[in-house]
Amino acid sequence: MSPRSTPPTVAWIAALIAGLVALPLLVSDAYILHVMILIGINVMLAVSMWLLGVSGLISFGQAGFMFIGAMTTALLTKSAGWPFWAALPLSALVPALVAAPVGRLSLRVRGVYFFLVTLAFGQVVNGLFAYFQDPFGGWYGIRDVPPPQPAALFTTLNKVPFYYLCLALTLITVGVVYRVSRSWFGNVLWSIRESELLAASVGIDVPGTKLIAFIVAALFAGVAGSFYAAYFAYISPLVFTFEYSVNMLIFIVVGGFASIAGPIVGAVVLTLVPEMFRMTGKYQLLAFGLILILSMRLMPQGIAGTYAAFRARRVGSSLPGSVPSPGVDRET
């Protein structure tokens, strides 16, 4: 059984969620809650990219879909006067609808050409929103995006409501993506990743399956963008750049790709590290790069993948009569 097919223990997940729910009761520091919110946003986007990567695709257009979701929320809440709770589902739907034709076009090419097409899409979205001052705000973006309702609760000085909203959206995103990855559809995605020709030979619609994964990934990127707009009350083309998508890919690489724990761990670690070294100024990026290099050198399977392999060897060596073979990783 592969690492991705081994579900984490229910007790561990319940304890983790309970700890996250109780965190604002134990910690009153607004900065810590702000960092946790940043982690939640990054987890949502990294997990959405990971789902697409399950089928063997890596998209550099996730920041573009996130920007579309953020812009939808900003326009609906500030210009049209919609409440955030009505704008949120539409902000997820619009990127998904845009992803349908974009995915159909980009999935016609493979390899580096797919990267280039998705990269071009992200640049087009960014340039389009930057070019039109009305209604997108141009390079200056849109400021004073209304918060969720009630506005008296979701204030700039009160991070707790935003924290719980981010936690709820993150748990929904992770839960849905996890269930999808372990469903029959997820098995189809994994089979496509292993061999497209073999999957097609048994009757799997490879382009259609990839397109669905592309759309679902865009949908959750839109959710992350919608919350981003409501939390920061400001969006700009200078935020949702190509580097944003690259960072999500780095989260997955550092965390590990074998299971959904990988992008989560990567997002947590690589969001905390820059914050820990923020006071050092120029050494902040140096610490980020050093961790990336060391993780790829010492843990090529990622943090989560290395831990899973270590645990598998430990469990295997503790079984009666088991003699682990040198250089061979036991599967759980």
Q: What is the per-residue pLDDT for 41?
A: 96
Task: Count, in order, helices (H) and strands (E) of the chain.
Answer: 13, 2
Would you say residue 241 lies in a domain? Answer: yes
Within a domain: 23: yes
Is 60 exceeded by the pLDDT of residue 3? no
CATH at residue 116: 1.10.3470
Is 202 among the domain residues?
Answer: yes
CA-to-CA separations, 293 to 49, 218, 261, 277, in angstroms, rounded: 21, 29, 20, 17
Expressed in percent and rounded to 5, the helix, strand and coil fractions of the chain are 75, 0, 25
> How many domains are contained in the chain?
1
pLDDT value, residue 1: 41
The answer as to whether 144 is a domain residue is yes
Residue 332 lies in a domain: no
Q: Let me know if residue 328 belongs to a domain.
A: no
Using pLDDT thresholds of 50, 70 and 90, give the confidence band for residue 110.
confident
In a domain, residue 325? The reply is no
Please state, in angstroms and rounded to a whole number, the distance separating the CA atoms of residues 267 and 321: 39
CA distance 79 to 48: 29
Residues 43-73: pLDDT tens digits?
A: 999 999 999 888 888 888 899 999 999 999 9
**Structural domain boundaries, residue 83:** 3-318
